[in-house]
Amino acid sequence: MFGDNYKSDGSYQYFNQANKPAPDIDYAFQSLALNLRGFTQNVANGNNAVTLNSELRLPIYTTFFNRPVNNAFLRNFQITQFIDLGSAWNGAYKGISRPSSSYGIPPVQINTKVGGVGPFAGGYGFGARSTLLGYFLKLDVAWEMNGFFRGKPIYYFCMGLDF
- The pLDDT assigned to 36 comes to 85
Q: How many CB atoms lie within 10 A of CB 94?
A: 7
What's the pTM value of the predicted model, to 2 decimals? 0.78
Residue 112 and residue 101 in contact, taking contact as beta carbons nearer than 8 Å: yes
- The pLDDT assigned to 58 comes to 95
Cα 123 from Cα 140, distance rounded (Å)? 12
Cα 33 from Cα 89, distance rounded (Å)? 12
Residue type, 52: L
Can you tell me the mean pLDDT for 22-50?
Answer: 77
Cα 4 from Cα 107, distance rounded (Å)? 23
More confident residue, 88 or 18: 88
- DSSP H helices, 18-127, are 60-64, 72-76
Start-to-end CA distance of the chain, whole Å, equals 24
Q: How many CB atoms lie within 10 A of CB 125?
A: 21
Cα separation values, 44 from 31, 57, 125, Å:
13, 27, 20
| Average per-residue pLDDT for the chain | 83
Q: Model confidence over 129-163: pLDDT tens digits?
A: 999 998 999 999 999 998 788 888 999 999 987 76
Q: Model confidence over 41-50: pLDDT tens digits?
A: 878 888 888 8
Cα 56 from Cα 130, distance rounded (Å)? 15
Q: Model confidence over 62-102: pLDDT tens digits?
A: 889 888 888 999 999 999 999 999 888 887 777 787 887 76
More confident residue, 115 or 58: 58
